[in-house]
Structure 1
Amino acid sequence: MIQIKAQSIYTPDRVSTQAFINIKHGKVLSIGEPATSDSLTVYDLPDYSLVPGFVELQINGAFGVDFTNTPDQIWQVGRRLIELGITTFLPTIITSPLSAITNAMQIWLSGAPIGYNGAAIPGFHVEGPYLSLQKKGAHRQEFFRKPTPAEVSEWIPSNGIRMVTLAPELPGALEIISILSQRGILVSAGHSNASAEQVRRAMEAGISAGTHIFNAMGALDHRAANLVSVLLTEDHLKVGLIADGIHLAPEVVKIVQRCKGKGNIFLVSDAMAALGLSPGKYQLAGREVNVNETTARLEDGTLAGSILTATESLRNFVKFTQCSFEEALQCWTTTPAGMLHLENGGRLTIGQQADLVALDDHGRVAGTMIKGDWVFIAPWAKIEEKRIN
């Protein structure tokens, strides 16, 4: 059995200070008081807080890998994302030929390599090609299409499709939303110029979220309600948000938090291949992206994802909104995990898989544990085991 004493333990529904978490066979046995066992490995972490592993629903690539171009590298990146505290993620395939999605499914179906100890990959987020030309963002419009049932016939969770972003105003979109949602796929509205009425019809069909709110959608208009209006005011719709201070002004992040409240926001990085690397030129689905210390942009200045980490996003969200750390933490843990109906991940409760992250007082990742094993320990971190019995 493993026993960890930490400065604080966030479940994240509640926080316990100077508490213990006891782990057996890779699952949480108890939280609060120390447990006894004939075989015990103890970690005393007085300088660190323990939080559930982060669940990332929108990431285009990292560490030099672009998932759309090279989906066979998802496992390689999964081994590195644990350095950032991510224990579950959806590699995002953006607008490209449909063959790219088929290829990604085949790679996922082949399974993780033997001995894989990286972040879990329950499937993909497919963002495009069913998007609005008026709100294309950094997507390649030559690959945009109108949705048909035949094209999505193989898009099912057991083939690795877990989330789909589309524009609900497109001809045929409502039928596709209904088909996908009935299969258990999370369908989100994004890259869209939809009116409020079009969004409400999409809600009836099965839309349950909005992708990176405010970005690549019609602006908030005080006389003409649209996608943003509905996302902000419909309580049961979840909204994705990029909290880098660039995609959205801090004040706008605060507006979203005030409108949506707890449990309705999922923070994402929307990161691209440059995440974790130095500034330079990188690829996003075949397009060259210029990356500096803070942003990723196409030649024309269009934002092309981000280089944001989960911990930076977490700190920014607290700073921008003045919400509690626990509320912000839910945006990276329980909310996205709940949206995917994950059996494991997103919380530290009895019986749950022990996926957790140790954070220092500056919000840096000191270590990441998956299934009760430390799969990453930062070189500077003080995480040492003591065996008893």
Structure 2
Amino acid sequence: MNTHSHVAIVGAGHAGGRVAQHLRALGHSGRVTLIGAEAHAPYERPALSKEMLLGTTASENLVLAPNAFWMDDALAGIGIERVCATVESLDVDARRVRLHDGRHIGFDQLVVATGAAARRLPVPGCDLPGVQVLRTLDDCIALKAAFPACRELAIIGGGVIGMEVASSATKLGMHVTVLEAGSAIMNRCLPPLVSAWLEAQHAEQGVAVKKNVRVEKIVKTGERLQIVARTGDEPLLTDADCVLMATGADCHPAFLLGTGLADTQGVHVDAHCRSPLAPWLYAAGDVACLRDAESGVALRQETWRNAENQARAVAEMLLGRTEPYRETPWMWTDQHGHAIQVTGTPDGAHEWIVRGSLEAASATLVGLRNGCVHAGVTINQSRDRRHIEALVTGRHAVDKLRMADTRHALKTFL
């Protein structure tokens, strides 16, 4: 690629901001236009459901380091233009995007880093005052502002964000009810053993978890809200001062509708983070749906680490990198004082070996498929994470009885 080309980045969050930073650090000297609807400088999101809600960190601490990079004078000095706007459409043939104010911005290469948008259930009352979502810094500020008057919080959705907020809210003295549509909390990323254990930790802190819930509507009852739902054939009414809708995220960028370059799974890209339909279009972060060359599985990774590493990879690809991008899925969550890390993609096909004790909240679980390590979970055993990742990445075959015996250190299986 010509290092003097014009790169436009749509999405000025974590991944988009890092792409801009890496382009300059790696020697790209052409125009870079970073377009995003949020007025905030690019920031990291993990603290939004934890430290930000608890008031133990400030928003300026979330900005992608170094903070000075995002000052207007600094950006102007290195030829990066930040545009605070919503992108409404893409003209594929002309290679230009149209902004909400009618402006057009042309480009040579386009990076889509729009992340994902919080999803609201399409039920009556989903947009009533007091019904919140949590995806952006502004969402977090609004939710935090509602907390002082909130004694009872209802959370629709038992995914990572919902359960992290439940943990934070109990620390602030609230009574929390979680309404989960499925049969287990965090079932997309935790094996059943760990999900059940985590639900018990929440119960010990007073969190009520209701499963197999179908929400029908949300209504205003005086100064409060009521969620009208069903569990099977049984009606379920939940009253709350505030409702958080944590029902997942939509990752289909609106400005790509009708182009064929994205769908409900995001922007499909190859191992070089590039669209097979438009070689000038790249994607990074939550929105990128990358097909693994080995397994053939298309996967989006909504994780902090993927936003970090894929952003750098995209910048390198734009500058001529030929090595494919591969990232072993990894995420972490902190709830009720427990540090949980997940490596790989746990699913029902795994046979789980427990090292340590779930009852003592000190365990490492190893997920096997056909005798090989495919996933792992650590609970307050962070030192095991790097060995688990090496085992997962290498698909190491292990002896089950030996693996279950903690007298054999994980590193001996590598």
TM category (shorter chain) comes to under 0.3
Greater RCO, CA 8 A, separation 6+: 1
The structure with the larger Rg is 2
